[in-house]
Structure 1
């Protein structure tokens, strides 16, 4: 699959234009979210490309977002992430430098940084307050142009994931998958199937017509990548949640499914970068940068 772009147009006053840009290597979706009136826009979950075989990086996918913004005469005023991703390297710092827009993530990234400092044996290395301009709390609000954005803490996949609600659009990251693929895993350090269940119930309490934009899709059974569905469509068709599924039934299904999943092949590279807002480790004496990978810490 190649990277592809899809536009979800505004539905009128208070509703954003949304472009999803699919990053095929990791099945990740980056978003460009714009106020049609002011032409101000935010980037959500921009990707820094990474080849795990050569440990090489580039910003082709992030540059695709910048080109798309230029094509539609949009001014980037925010660089946003929903959580420190485990499957891809984020492009937050790069996009901040390219746009002069502030970057942001959820405030509980501090707790995630503390947790992963132990796994990497890198005490006092990750300093999210230095690498992100804003650390959003539950209930915070800000604007993209004239559009109000509400921040929800949405734990489960990670302990500090957040959702951005912009009018009739919600960016729900690694909570829901596309309806035919269910929901996201909850077995990473700090994850919780209880928290994920509660997060999903809150998201599905939004109005039925709300557009939900997810973090990943893998083209189930060979179909084209998809990343947008309404609350109503998830209530009716999501294979993990449709019908009268109880919390106990959901948690059993989620835990059994998670036990079959391997770690993402980029995870141990990604977290040490993403907890620095996408910056690679500092150069060592020879001028080169090096990843630190813990051995035998994960089965």
Structure 2
């Protein structure tokens, strides 16, 4: 079986890994989870990180045909529109993005947001397959972190998004609106039912205590043997209890408010005002009485 060529791009400010994945025979390529450089303090957005991906594809002689999002990220903004504008690529995500849009539309009073997923060019169903050159991409719906999470299986590689981290770090949180620890466990077990030598490519790494370098590639066998959260023998109830207790201690991602508003629109900012500036919203609620 022909395997994909994979280039990883690590964004340290958000601890995010984006991937450039290509069919070696045709040079057709996909970008998975591209990051827009965004400075929260100044409100400045830049495309230098995504530009490096586009430049690398050009250097390799690869043609970027698609941008694949694993979910609507809460910790970084998507650079999918930039890549689409530069390459003509289409943008795809799991079909349950509609549910995420319906959850967050009222939270941010996004009256301009359609909740039918139409900001994206393609919406994928579980089990759907489509070509990447001569390779086949299979979509796996893996809800839990959010209702819309998908993984992309290409040859012996699976791009799992936030569902799993390195074995020494664990698993994704499940406390965002629409998240569910029980669903997350079942999604993880589905991924870990694949052959043991299946390579798993992660969307984030935070360097577990005692580890000096970032890592983002593991295998099904390594996860089943050594995952600190979900190795073989951990029951669903044990996982849910651990996950819910851990999530209760986690802080809100720094870029959550801008990320959600942009990413549910496929990386699109709200229309600019007359001054040429786009504006995002910050919900402010009175604190409940103690």
TM-score of the superposition, structure 2-length normalised?
0.95
Q: Is residue 126–residue 275 contact of structure 1 (8 Å, CA) maintained in 2?
A: no
CA displacement, residues 88-118 of structure 1 (integer Å, 9 cap, x when unaligned): 0001111111111111111111111111011
CA distance in 2, matches of 1:47, 1:129: 20
Instruction: Identify the residue that residue 8 of structure 1 maps to in structure 2.
Output: none
Does 2:234 correspond to 1:241? no
Does 2:108 correspond to 1:125? no
Listed as ranges, the gaps of 5+ residues in structure 1 are 1-12
Equivalent in 258, 263, 269 of residue 252 of structure 2: 263
Does 2:6 correspond to 1:22? no
Q: Is residue 97–residue 117 contact of structure 2 (8 Å, CA) maintained in 1?
A: no
CA shift for structure 1 position 28: 0.3
Equivalent in 163, 180, 197 of residue 192 of structure 1: 180
CA distance in 2, matches of 1:266, 1:37: 39
Instruction: Identify the residue that residue 158 of structure 1 maps to in structure 2.
Output: 146
CA displacement, residues 194-243 of structure 1 (integer Å, 9 cap, x when unaligned): 11001000000000000001110012235211000010011111111124
What secondary structure does 2:49 align onto? Answer: helix
Instruction: Identify the residue that residue 62 of structure 1 maps to in structure 2.
Output: 50
CA shift for structure 1 position 256: 0.8
Does 2:212 correspond to 1:223? yes
What secondary structure does 1:268 align onto? Answer: helix
CA distance in 2, matches of 1:158, 1:228: 22
Equivalent in 98, 107, 110 of residue 95 of structure 2: 107
Does 2:198 correspond to 1:180? no
| Equivalenced residues, count | 287
CA shift for structure 1 position 128: 5.7
Instruction: Identify the residue that residue 273 of structure 2 maps to in structure 1.
Output: 284
Equivalent in 269, 272, 283 of residue 261 of structure 2: 272
TM-score of the superposition, structure 1-length normalised?
0.92
CA displacement, residues 109-140 of structure 1 (integer Å, 9 cap, x when unaligned): 11111110111122352456432110111121
Instruction: Identify the residue that residue 241 of structure 2 maps to in structure 1.
Output: 252
What secondary structure does 1:179 align onto? Answer: coil
Instruction: Identify the residue that residue 4 of structure 1 maps to in structure 2.
Output: none
CA distance in 2, matches of 1:137, 1:297: 40
RMSD over aligned CA atoms reads 1.6
CA distance in 1, matches of 2:287, 2:144: 19
CA displacement, residues 53-108 of structure 1 (integer Å, 9 cap, x when unaligned): 11111011111111111221111111111111000000111111111111111111
What secondary structure does 1:181 align onto? Answer: coil
CA displacement, residues 171-194 of structure 1 (integer Å, 9 cap, x when unaligned): 000110011101010000010001
CA distance in 2, matches of 1:242, 1:272: 35
